[in-house]
Structure 1
Amino acid sequence: MRGRPTQHNNKHLIEKAQDIFWKKGYTATSMGDLLEATGTGSGSFYNTFKGGKKEVFRKAILQRREAFHLFQKGLNESEAPLDLIKDFFRNIADAENETHLKGCIIANSVVEMTFVDQDLEMEAITILKEVEQMFSDTIQKAQDSGKIQNRTDAKILGRYLITFWCGLNTLRRMYPDPDILQQQIEMQLAAIS
Structure 2
Amino acid sequence: MAGRPKIFNEQEAVEKATEVFRDKGYDTASAEELLCAMGIGKGSFYLAFKGGKQELYVRSITQFADHFHQKFSDSISASEDKIQFIKQFFLNLADASDCDKERGCYLGNALVQLSEKDHKIKKITAELLKKLQSLFAETIRNAQKNRQITSTEDPEVIGWYLSNLWNGIHVTRRMESSPEILRSIIEMNLKIIN
Q: Is the shorter-chain TM-score for this pair beyond 0.5, marking a shared fold?
A: yes
Alignment-derived partner of residue 171 in structure 1: 172
TM-score w.r.t. the length of structure 2 is: 0.83
Alignment-derived partner of residue 162 in structure 1: 163
SS at the partner of 2:158? helix
Q: Matched residues in 2 for 1:98 and 1:183: separation?
A: 20
Q: 1:35·1:45 contact (CA, 8 Å) conserved in 2?
A: yes
In the TM superposition, what is the alpha-carbon distance from 1:122 to its structure 2 partner?
0.8
- 1:121 and 1:109, CA in 2 relative to 1: closer, same or farther beyond 3 A? same
Q: Matched residues in 2 for 1:132 and 1:172: separation?
A: 21
Specify every segment of 5 or more residues in structure 1 that has no aligned partner in the other structure, as ranges: none
Alignment-derived partner of residue 49 in structure 2: 49
Structure 1 window deviating more from structure 2 (28-37 vs 147-156): it is 28-37
Indicate yes or no: 2:61 matched with 1:61.
Answer: yes
Q: Which amino acid aligns with 1:46?
A: Y
Alignment-derived partner of residue 180 in structure 1: 181
Q: Matched residues in 1 for 2:172 and 2:33: separation?
A: 27
- 1:110 and 1:94, CA in 2 relative to 1: closer, same or farther beyond 3 A? closer
Alignment-derived partner of residue 139 in structure 1: 140
Q: Matched residues in 1 for 2:85 and 2:103: separation?
A: 23
Q: 2:99·2:106 contact (CA, 8 Å) conserved in 1?
A: no
In the TM superposition, what is the alpha-carbon distance from 1:115 to its structure 2 partner?
4.6
Post-superposition Cα deviations, 1:8-45, rounded to whole Å, max 9, x if no partner, equal: 23233222211233344434544234224334321232
Percent identity reads 36
Aligned alpha-carbon RMSD (Å): 2.6
Alignment of 1:10-29 (within 5 A): 10-29=10-29
Specify every segment of 5 or more residues in structure 2 that has no aligned partner in the other structure, as ranges: none
Q: 1:100·1:176 contact (CA, 8 Å) conserved in 2?
A: no
Q: Which amino acid aligns with 1:183?
A: S
Q: Which amino acid aligns with 2:56?
A: V
Alignment of 1:87-102 (within 5 A): 87-99=88-100
Q: Which amino acid aligns with 2:85?
A: L
Paired residues in the alignment total 190
- 1:102 and 1:85, CA in 2 relative to 1: closer, same or farther beyond 3 A? closer
Indicate yes or no: 2:51 matched with 1:34.
Answer: no
Q: Matched residues in 1 for 2:75 and 2:116: separation?
A: 35
SS at the partner of 1:174? coil
In the TM superposition, what is the alpha-carbon distance from 1:78 to its structure 2 partner?
2.3
